[in-house]
Structures are given as structure tokens and as C-alpha cells.
Copies of this chain bind each other. A is one copy, B any other.
Amino acid sequence: MAVTIKDVAKLANVAPSTVSRVIADSPRISEATKRKVNEAMGKLGYHPNLNARSLASQSTQTIGLVMPSSGDVVFQNPFFPTVLQGISEGAHEKKYALHMTTGKSEKETLEAVVEMVQGKRVDGMILLKSKVEDKIISYLLKRNFPFVLIGKPYKNVEEITHVDNDNFRAMQEATEHLIMQGHHQIAFIGGCLELVVTVERLLGYERALRNAGIELKNEYIIHEEFLREGGQEAVKELMSLENPPTALVVVDDFMALGVLNTLDELGISVPEDISIVSFNNVLLSEMVKPPLTSVDINIFDLGYQASKNLIQKIENSDEPIKRIIIPHKLIERSSCCHLKNK
């Protein structure tokens, strides 16, 4: 068996509780015994058993996370690793670890969460996306379990600490950027409408058009899970409309790359024939041709603030509900240009 607190206590000639106090760096312990105990720990190569500690102290110093299931589109693009990196960084700073599981279905995912929460494996949870009707959120809310959502909750906004971009404004600005370049025929290429982020951005797009007195056209709005094949068709259809768009807003750089390829096949050049603004500003966006004008939403920070704030909440149970808005920024590159008058 491994070396325990008792072994250390024996060697240092103190009680186990004293050792425990030394570990916790309790103030009311003499320097002398502190040294004595530390020495014994060193000599024995002692390391606390964290399960025992968690059991006794009802805290785990770990944050729970549910990964998007394999096969989820999310995985093919850098959002997930980057946000994870941010989460991990924030956790690491406060000496928290991460505990993750996957769920293939919504049911499995919920089960995974229940297991973590009721199984006392984690002190808090970070949720990576908010569905329109989210059982996980209801569950956590009901149990009053600390969690932070990355993204905007569909409901109960006032009760949920969340970190998000101002996706409405971000998309509005992206659209306005195109409008200011003279574009009136601007199409929206977005993802799954069940995701709140898509809804928000769509609204921002619509607002920008409306503000500019531009008529909304249903056929200019596309929702595709796509990477590869899926979207190709949609883009082709879009471009063969009677009045094809002269500009596109695309909700993700990776999608934009797919769009770029389809346009290339169609012999349409960017930005000469059509302008594009996309989102996320991942490394990719500056490496493709043409480099993409893209809205940087600070993915890393989204994750970093999520774990940072979750930990605050864990450690101080009457921390107020917060809404943290991570700033975005339009990074101009070469995929947009002024609409030439015809």
C-alpha cells in the first residue's frame, strides 16, 4: 500500500491530524513541527490520496466538462481545442484539474453530467453550448450546482452565469462592414438553428440589413451543418439565383474555406466577384487564399473566463450571477472589397 498520512505522522512523531494541518498550511502550527513533518513527507515520498481528501472535504478541485461527441462537426474545427485550452489555462492557474466525458446522444450526455455531479467527481461544470431546450441546464439549475455556460442561454438568462460574445452586434457589424462597401445583396451562411449563437447572429444580420433599409430575402439565408458536400449544393443554389448575392457572411472560417472552394469551382472569384466575412479568425483564416476578413471572437478567452469565473463561484457560493461579454474584433484581410458599380 502507498504511504499514508499515518506513516508520516509516525515518522515525525506527531498525530495524523497534525500532518493534515501541515499539508493545509494551517497558520496555528509551529515552525518546528512544520519542518519536522515536511521532512518526514519528503523522506517517505508522501503524496496525499485525493480521493480520500475529496471524500472527507467534499471538494474535488476539478471542473467537469462534456465533450462534443465524436462525429460532431465541432471537432473538425479549431473552436473546441482553443476553448479547451482557455479553460485549461484558467483551471491550471487555480490548481484545478479537468474531468471530461463524452455523450453520443443528449440522453447519454445528461447521464454523464449526472454521474459527475451526483458522483461528486467535480465541483462545478462548464457547458460548451446551449441548446434551445437544454435539459442539462435545467438539471444543474434545479440542483443549484455551480456551472458556467459558454454561449448565451436560451432562457433563464438572469439566473445563469455565462460568458459569451455579443454575437448580435458582432454579426451586425460584420454585415455593416459589407454594407458600407456598397453591398446590398448579402447572404447569410450559418449553422444549426438550434444553437443560440446561430439565432443571435441571424438577428444581428437582419438588424443590419433593416437599419440600412435593405429588404430581407429568405433565399439568402442558408443553414447547413456542412463541411464538404453538404454546403456545396447550398452555395451553388445560392449563386444561381436570379439575383445572386455580392457578399456573404459565414459563421465560421472553416465553413468559409468550403465556400471559397465551391466558388472557385464555379469560377467566381473572391473578392472581385463576391466578398466574404467570416467568423472566428483562426490561424487558417490568414493562411488561405485570399486571406479572410474574419471576426475574431477570442475563443481562448471565452474558455479562460469560463473556468476563472466558475472557480470563483465554486469557492464563494454567493458570488453573483454574471454575464461576461468577451470583446470581438473585425480583422480585415483580403476577402472583401467595395462593390463596383455596374
Inter-chain contact B47/A55, CB cutoff 8 Å: no
- Provide the A85-124 mask, 1 if CB < 8 A to any CB of B, else 0: 1101101100001111110100000000011101111000
Q: How many copies does the complex hold?
A: 2
Give Cα distance in the complex from A283 to B52, angstroms.
45
Sorting the interface of chain A by its residue count into under 10, 10 to 19, 20 to 34 or 35 or more gives: 35 or more
Interface flag for A138 (CB, 8 Å) = no
Inter-chain contact A51/B85, CB cutoff 8 Å: no
Interface flag for A210 (CB, 8 Å) = no
Give Cα distance in the complex from A227 to B88, angstroms.
23
Q: Chain B residues near A82 (CB, 8 Å)?
A: 75
Interface flag for A13 (CB, 8 Å) = no
Chain B CB within 10 Å — which of A70, A114, A289 has the most?
Answer: A70
Inter-chain contact A119/B55, CB cutoff 8 Å: no
Interface flag for A26 (CB, 8 Å) = no
Interface flag for A17 (CB, 8 Å) = no
21 A–B contact pairs at CB < 8 A?
A47-B114, A47-B115, A47-B119, A49-B55, A50-B119, A51-B51, A51-B54, A51-B119, A67-B88, A70-B88, A76-B283, A88-B100, A88-B101, A89-B102, A91-B101, A92-B104, A98-B100, A99-B99, A254-B283, A264-B289, A288-B288
